Amino acid sequence: MQPIVSIVKCEDYSQERVNERVRQAIELAELGSEFAPGKRVLLNPNLLSSRLPDEAVTTHPSVVEALGRLALDSGCEVTLGDSPPFAGENPANYARLCERTGMTAVARHLGVPVVRFEDEVVKVDNPEGRFYRAFELAGAVVSSDLIVNIPKLKTHGLTAFSGAVKNVFGCIPGIRKGLFHVQAAENREVFAQMLVDLLRCVKPAINIMDAVVGMDGEGPNAGGRKPIGLILASSDPIALDAVACRIVGIEPMSVHTTRLADEQGLGVGRLDAIEIMGEPIESVFVSDFRESSGANDWARIPAPIRRMLRGQLVASPVVNAAECIGCGDCARVCPIHTITPGWPPAIDLTPCIRCYCCQEVCNAKAIHLRRGWMGNLAMKWMAKK
């Protein structure tokens, strides 16, 4: 069965108009039945940083409010939250961010709580993940019956496009997101695969994109406001991203998250296999959308310092030769083939992505994780949160 992506025109953020267009997008995408009495619904917008709604960095509050109203009208229990990279670590900073981005007003209008993802962290196994077999997620995410993923259409220096798949990264609390950036280092495909593995774990059932005003150029935080005038919705986040990319002139399969997720059967990234409802892509195509240059903050750090940070912050697998039985399981399970079989095996830590699959399969318990002092300090700090 083909996934549906609905495309609905929405000229501005007036609440009455957004309410109508969001409802229309949900109906066209056949998502209305997901809202059911008693369901615990988590609204998860993009709250990247403490910016005003009109700056196009965060999901506009009118879109979040419209979805919250739909859920409440259906008898759902609704909460609202995200995990900004830094502001979420401190309750007062998170409160200020929610106020500035308009989420506090949304929660007040709807009569629902705002949750801080750092308040509770739960380890969730992800056995089918290609690289990452477990994630630490916000308790609010794990306890929800329905996650409503509400991304903003933006460019991104590392992933090229920030949409529905990238937005699930917010389900990982606080500073833990930074460790994934360090693990992936300069390998964009590894980082994209992490997001795909995370998507498999989180499984948002409703994905609705704020593309009324997007961001082009040097997104996700420093680009330009780009009026697009659309609301898009789908049960398939990969299909949603593919259609959104096509609308702004980005080749969908050039985005690693879309290609990898499509190849692994998590969704559909090929436009000819997606059913479009509402406006045809050709009628809403944006011809002057500026793509990202591909620069990202991690790459701006000098290589020697990047290597030092990676070695200090992220635990590395180390083989205890006295305990190793030379079975070779670690080499066979390594997803990027960075382990040479032997007794003991040799692990090349330079390309190692720190997925720890080798430690997971070692029946002899011969592979241990060793973290530098900075990493130990960070772990102790996070444990107190």
Residue with structure tokens 């994630």? 135
Q: Is 130 found in the same domain as 93?
A: yes
Question: E strands within 256-354?
Answer: 275-278, 316-319, 339-340, 346-347
Print the domain residue range for 78.
4-297
**CATH code of 101's domain:** 3.40.50.11440
Are 105 and 188 within one domain?
Answer: yes
Q: Is the pLDDT of residue 312 over 70?
A: no
With a cut of 60, say whether residue 63 has pLDDT above it. Answer: yes
> Which residues, 6 or more positions from 286, have their beta carbon under 8 angstroms from its beta carbon?
226, 228, 247, 248, 249
Q: What is the pLDDT of residues 254-308, one digit of tens each?
A: 999 999 999 999 999 999 999 999 999 999 999 999 999 876 555 555 666 656 6
Tally the domains of the chain: 2
**pLDDT class for 113, splitting at 50, 70, 90?**
very high
Supply the mean pLDDT for the chain: 90
64: Cα separation from own chain's centroid: 17
Tens digits of residue pLDDT in 127-141: 999 988 899 999 999
The enclosing domain of 340 has a CATH number of 3.30.70.20
CA-closest candidate to residue 150, choices 135, 136, 134, 170: 170
What mean pLDDT do residues 48-60 have?
96
Helix axes 256-263, 188-202, angle to 10 degrees: 60
Question: Residue 206's closest CA among 163, 150, 161, 244?
Answer: 150
Shared domain check, 198 and 61: yes
Highest average pLDDT, of 80-89, 236-245, 358-367, comes from: 236-245
Asked which of 273, 297, 321 is the last residue of a domain, the reply is 297
Q: Kindly list the distances between the CA atom of residue 297 and the CA atoms of 42, 192, 220, 351, in Å, as whole numbers in the listed order.
A: 30, 16, 11, 20
Last residue in a domain, options 297, 320, 341: 297
| pTM of the predicted model as reported, rounded to 2 decimal places | 0.86
Whether residue 19 is found in the same domain as residue 62: yes
Q: Give the pLDDT confidence of 179-230 residue by residue, as tens digits.
A: 776 666 557 888 899 999 999 999 999 999 999 999 999 899 989 999 999 9
